[in-house]
Structure 1
Amino acid sequence: MLSIDIAHRQGDFSLECAFDSDARVTGLFGPSGAGKSTLLRIIAGLVRPDRGRVELAGRCVFDSRAGVHVPAHRRRIGYVFQRARLFAHLNVRHNLGYGAWFAREKPGRARFRQVVDMLDIGPLLNRRVTGLSGGEQQRVAIGRALLSNPAMLLLDEPLASLDVARRQEVLPYIERLSAESELPIVFVSHQLDELLRLANRRVVAVRDGRVTFSGPTAEFLAQPSLLGAEQAGDAGVLLRGKIIAHWSGDGLTEIACGRQSLFVPHVAHPAGSAITLHVRARDVMLACQRPQDISALNVLEARIEQLVADGDYAVNVHMRVGEQPLEARITRRSAESLVLVPGQTIHAVVKSLALAEQAWERLGGL
């Protein structure tokens, strides 16, 4: 679906990136200045690299050796920037129409209404964009890109310019887009929580113009060194589960992970929905015997696979809960006092409230 192998120099900055991805949503992760936006502009055809090759959905759009360079307007790319870049003199309806004007196949009324409903921008259609909030403007920008009938959608940190409240307003709409649309998406972010909600299958990590990781999101999340110093504490695993029931009186949702259950703060999806849960290694405690009379609701029986020293005082305990991985980061002293060894059955304790701010999403369509 996406194959990149390019080299490009821009002033003192050198970008050399090679990766392949066939995921519906590919997360492009890295700190500011890593080269993510430049790479996205190369994919879109807005920047011509010095050498290399770019393939989109099996179609070569750039090949320096063969002299191929498909211009941006012929690549059928929908591009959403960090700021909405809407036309201030037009209302929302006309901004959306500008995207449709560039479509190879003009969207009909049904497609227009589908996009408007998906992004919940129907009440905004006759308003000037200057009167919209930042979150509303970004939703309109996404709609404009979708109505251009793109073959691929590029989202270049579309939440970076928004405050926390507006980010939480827009995230569910992008999440819905990724779940309900067949459109391939490349989502750029330096925020781990955004990445886990929108690209929980495939991640490409970039730092200093180089690819440092390309592969499954679960493998990426398990390596603190890839997350950066500020987010290394969020290293852990992704648990896949299915909602069993909502306990409305307690404000909790029960989730099945294999033959065991987890209780978490209420999740706004119906029973039967498949979801992903981010469990941080630092939030997992271990006990040799199943603990009694404790406040934590979640005690999972696990099997230790490996113990890995992490610095002078910590140990990462890699486990399996059924067929799924789980990880705990504990002190070396704790590991020694519990006499932990591979193959041992252990009880992993996770506080429900430790999961309150972690990433939830439907898996359908990903």
Structure 2
Amino acid sequence: MTMIDLAIRQTLGAFTLDIAFTAEERGVTALFGRSGSGKTSVINAIAGLTRPDAGRIRIGDTVFFDSARRIDVPVEKRRIGYVFQDARLFPHMTVRSNLEFGLRRVPAAERHIAFGPVVELLGLGHLLDRRPRGLSGGEKQRVAFGRALLAQPRLLLMDEPMASLDAARKAEIMPYIERLRDEMNIPIVMVSHALDEVVRLATTMVLIGEGRVRAVGPVGTVMGRLDLSAVTGAQDAGAVLDLTVERHIPDDGLTVLAFDGGHLTVPRVERAPGASVRLHIHARDVIVALQQPVGVSVRNALAATVVEVAGSGPSSADVRLAVGGSFLIARITRAAVRELDLTPGRPVVALVKGIAFEPGSTGAAAEGRRVVDV
């Protein structure tokens, strides 16, 4: 079932927003793009904080806005939770009172999300009697998530929910957002310009540039397109792979991950065999060879086929490689493309020299992004 169906046009001063997308799965739909691309304007329209000039907004079976049918549901009747960059808690209230504020807004008969489970889900039990001024940034955001959930939302909106947090607090909050995604069965639309957040959390990626949708789909599919690097950010070019933990190698501190293109060996992942993980492999960390190498330290060598080559700079090119049913991207020099005769259909070996590990979609404990040679 299509959970989100949106097609809106809106003039905002000299800026024109013309956005259309659908997201069919429950989970996190991430609106990704550079600052000023129109992402926050989209979720403000969904929330009813601004009114589009034309179009429609439907969540599940409920139409929030339809200019042709003259439907514009008021903000207070949309039942949408909104988590901002800053927590916006009531400073004179305890954590308990802040949470109960969300709950009190909904008639008892319509409360299907209870106080206790939300407190447990977000790890707030020991904070209930404290006031916001005594909380860390990550703790404040967890309370903001709880307050939004207890308002019994049809949809949860998050506008750069980790933008104001340092790296440590961001690592603290990520697992809680994963739990919201995996356990609450509420669709989430999240605005972000941080690729690591999107890679780790998103079910669907909506790539936005200059007020337009450039691509929609699974994160790996969108990130694997060479024609979108100018929008995603050239420095972030690379592939996103979903893999399964196959086994651990305790003596070496390594884990073997399996996917449809073979195996990758990475620093130990604290997940049980069978668990899912997600890898973001940067294009700059992939080397292309014509044959299996010998006498090198790189452990990850995968049979691949050249699919596409596109220029990425004055002297560089991006090469899209099919590895089983998945894809990698390698950023190499134009001279190397010419000397190796890298044309579509050519069999090669992809050497993955560095792994940028993003914990995947199972809601396990947080780890920061780390890049290592393996």
TM-score by length of 1: 0.91
**Which residue pairs with 2:241 in the alignment?**
239
Specify the alignment match of 2:29 in structure 1.
Answer: 26
* Distance in 1 separating the partners of 2:5 and 2:122: 30
Q: Which residue of 1 aligns with 2:192?
A: 189
137, 140, 144: which one pairs with 1:134? 137
- TM-aligned CA deviation for residue 181 of structure 1: 2.7
Q: Please, which runs of 5 or more residues in structure 1 have no aligned partner? A: none
Partner of 1:61: 64
> 1:4-54 CA distances to partner (integer Å, 9 max, x unpaired)?
122223334332222222132211012222222121111011212222211
Task: Specify the SS of the correspondent of 1:220.
Answer: helix
1:52 alignment partner in structure 2: 55
The answer to whether the 8 A contact 1:26-1:204 is kept is yes
In terms of mean alpha carbon deviation, does 117-126 or 79-88 score higher?
117-126
Report SS of the residue matched to 1:358: strand
CA separation in 1, counterparts of 2:230 and 2:168? 24
2: CA distance between counterparts of 1:152 and 1:84?
A: 18
Q: What residue ranges of structure 2 are gaps of 5+ in the alignment? A: 364-374
Aligned to 2:274: 272
Question: Which structure 2 residues correspond to residues 52-201 of structure 1 after superposition, within 5 A?
Answer: 52-104=55-107, 105=109, 107=111, 111-199=114-202, 201=203
After TM superposition, give the deviation of residue 82 of structure 1 in Å.
Answer: 0.8
Shift of 1:180: 2.5
Give, in whole Å, the separation in 1 of the partners of 2:177 and 2:53.
33
What CA deviation, in whole Å up to 9, does each residue of 1:306-352 have, x standing for no partner? Answer: 3334444323222222221122121122223333343333211112x
Q: Give the Cα separation in 2 of the matches to 1:148 and 1:227.
A: 39
CA RMSD, Structure 1 to Structure 2 (Å): 2.2
Q: Which amino acid is 2:211 matched to? A: G
- Which letter maps to 1:284? V
Q: Which residue pairs with 1:287 in the alignment?
A: 289
Q: Name 2:370's counterpart in structure 1.
A: none
CA distance in 2, matches of 1:250, 1:117: 36
Q: Residues 11 and 333 from structure 1, CA distance in 2 versus in 1: closer, same or farther, beyond 3 angstroms?
A: closer
- Aligned counterparts of 1:163 and 1:245: Cα–Cα separation in 2: 33
Matches within 5 A, 1:278-357: 278-351=280-353, 354-355=354-355, 357=356
Quickly say closer, same or farther: Cα 1:129–1:227, change in 2 above 3 A: farther
2:6–2:58: 8 Å Cα contact kept in structure 1? yes
Question: Does structure 1 conserve the Cα–Cα contact (< 8 Å) formed by 2:261 and 2:302?
Answer: no
Structure 2 letter corresponding to 1:336: R
Give 1:248-259 correspondences, 5 Å limit: 248-258=250-260
Instruction: Name the aligned partner's letter for residue 359 of structure 2.
Output: W
Structure 2 length-normalised TM: 0.89
Q: Which deviates more, 52-61 or 302-311?
A: 302-311
Deviates more, 1:119-128 or 1:254-263: 254-263
Count of equivalent residues: 359
Give yes or no for contact 2:220–2:241 (8 Å, CA) kept in 1: no
Q: Where does residue 358 of structure 2 map in the other structure?
A: 359
Contact in 2 for aligned 1:53/1:64 (Cα 8 Å): yes
Using the TM superposition, give the Cα deviation of residue 137 of structure 1 relative to its aligned residue in structure 2, in angstroms: 0.1
State the Cα distance separating 1:230 from its structure 2 match: 8.8
Aligned to 1:263: 265
| SS of residue in 2 equivalent to 1:65 | coil
**Helix, strand or coil: the match of 2:252?**
coil
Instruction: State the alpha-carbon separation in 2 of the partners of residues 226 and 207 from structure 1.
Output: 10
Contact 1:80 1:158 in 2 (8 A): yes
CA distance in 2, matches of 1:286, 1:225: 20
Cα distance change on mapping 1:12 and 1:345 into 2, 3 Å: closer
